[in-house]
């Protein structure tokens, strides 16, 4: 049970959504955009947030696109992880989606919700960070289309009142050689100790990580080390692990030291598969 009331809006267009958000804000009423709802409902139930209104964006057609044209795959922000996985249109993202939470929750969690949620792992960001993806945002000042990496530095950088409309992935990335590895401490559906997505472009690896630090990241320094094939797999993995953007993340699932150990092993295995042409 959510122990307080809120107003529920279900707009039919982006303009309606941002207008009502702005109107509520100017009237001193806190509002949240709402799609899959799993995080919002949980936070409302335990009292972490107490919005006076929720704006359900699932009825906005622009946010529900899942279509490929000759240049790009367009993924609406309210597409569920199951829809993305089952579409098979971007296999690497599908692999990430298939390992977030559990299957039933994947039927509700949306792409936009995973990217902008408060849970630190945001694993759908990994394939987007390495595939030259772009993102469309809509807010009171209108539409912004930007490289995904420019508005995601571990978490989404929104302007006030903005929401994610969709993500665009260039077609080269949809069929590129790729790898996805997620290692957990216990159950398959746990949060990651190490989660990585890799894609190969022009013979070089691009790679992004979650679980290793307190936010997901892509590091071109790490990629340069991993692409130096004059060195052994073990050396490259060791050197890469020394280039994290912050100390390795520690919590009840695993200490930073343990995560580093898992990261090095995972990278070494990945590089060996690459060197042995198993990928």
Stretch that binds other proteins, among 101-109, 194-202, 257-265, 266-274 (CB under 8 A): 101-109
The DSSP result for 166-227, as a single string, is EEEEEHHHHTS-EEEEEE-SSSTTSPPSEEEEEEEETTEEEEEEESSSSS-EE-HHHHHHHT
187 near other proteins, judged by CB under 8 A: yes
Neighbours of 254 (CB within 10 A): 23
CA distances from 34 to 9, 22, 85, 195 (A): 9, 15, 21, 26
Closer by beta carbon to other proteins, 24 or else 135: 24
CB of 138 to other proteins, least distance (A): 16
Of 23 and 246, nearer to other proteins (C-beta) is 23
Place of tokens 């050689």: 177
Nearer Cβ to other proteins (38/214): 38
With vertex at residue 117, the alpha carbon angle to CA 1 and CA 16, rounded to the nearest 5 degrees, is: 80
Give the range of 134-142, 151-159, 185-193, 264-272 binding other proteins by CB under 8 A: 185-193
| Interface segment toward other proteins; rule CB under 8 A; list 23-31, 55-63, 157-165, 247-255 | 55-63
Nearest approach in angstroms of CB 135 to other proteins is 25
C-alpha–C-alpha distance, residues 123 and 170, integer Å? 19
Evaluated on CA atoms 194, 81, 216, 199, the torsion sign reads: positive
> How far is residue 237 CA from its own chain's centroid?
24
Among residues 18, 75, 101, 213, the one that binds other proteins under rule CB under 8 A: 101
Residues in binding contact with other proteins, number by CB under 8 A: 35
**Cβ distance to other proteins smaller for residue 20 or 171:** 20
Q: Exposure of 29 by Cβ count < 10 A (0-12 exposed, 13-18 middle, 19+ buried)?
A: middle
Q: Name which of 79 and 212 has its Cβ closer to other proteins.
A: 79
Residue 8: CB minimum distance to other proteins, A: 4
Distance CA 11, CA 56 (A): 7
Least distance in angstroms from the C-beta of 261 to other proteins: 26
> What residues from 14 to 53 belong to the interface with other proteins (CB under 8 A)?
16, 20, 37-38, 41-42, 44-45
Task: Supply the minimum distance, in Å, between the C-beta of residue 1 and other proteins.
Answer: 6
253 touches other proteins by CB under 8 A: no
> By CB neighbour count within 10 A (0-12 exposed, 13-18 middle, 19+ buried), where does 276 fall?
exposed
Paired tokens of 137? 């945002």
Q: Which residues are near other proteins by CB under 8 A?
A: 1-2, 4-12, 16, 20, 37-38, 41-42, 44-45, 54, 56, 58-59, 82, 98, 101-105, 107-108, 187-189
């Amino acid at each position: 049970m959510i122990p307080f009331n809120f107003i529920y809006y279900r707009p039919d267009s982006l303009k309606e959504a941002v207008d009502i958000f702005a109107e509520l804000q100017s009237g001193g009423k806190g509002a949240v955009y709402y799609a899959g709802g799993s995080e919002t409902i949980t936070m409302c139930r335990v009292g972490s947030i107490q919005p006076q209104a929720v704006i359900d964006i699932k009825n906005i057609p622009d946010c529900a696109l899942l279509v490929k044209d000759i240049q790009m795959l367009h993924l609406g922000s309210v597409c569920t992880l199951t829809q993305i996985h089952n579409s098979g249109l971007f296999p690497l993202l599908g692999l990430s989606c298939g390992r977030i939470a559990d299957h039933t929750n994947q039927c509700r969690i949306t792409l936009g919700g995973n990217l902008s949620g408060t849970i630190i792992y945001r694993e759908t960001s990994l394939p987007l960070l390495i595939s030259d993806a772009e993102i469309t945002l809509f807010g009171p000042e209108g539409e912004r289309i930007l490289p995904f990496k420019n508005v995601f530095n571990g978490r989404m950088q929104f302007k006030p009142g903005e929401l994610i409309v969709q993500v665009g992935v260039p077609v080269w990335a949809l069929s590129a050689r790729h790898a996805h590895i997620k290692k957990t401490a216990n159950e398959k559906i746990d949060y990651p100790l190490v989660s990585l997505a890799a894609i190969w472009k022009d013979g070089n690896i691009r790679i992004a990580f979650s679980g290793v630090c307190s936010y997901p990241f892509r590091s071109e320094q790490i990629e340069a080390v991993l692409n130096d094939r004059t060195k052994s797999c073990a050396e490259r993995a060791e050197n890469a692990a020394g280039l994290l953007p912050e100390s390795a993340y520690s919590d009840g699932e695993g200490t930073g030291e343990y995560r580093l150990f898992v990261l090095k092993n995972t990278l070494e295995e990945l590089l060996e598969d690459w060197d042995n042409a198993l990928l």
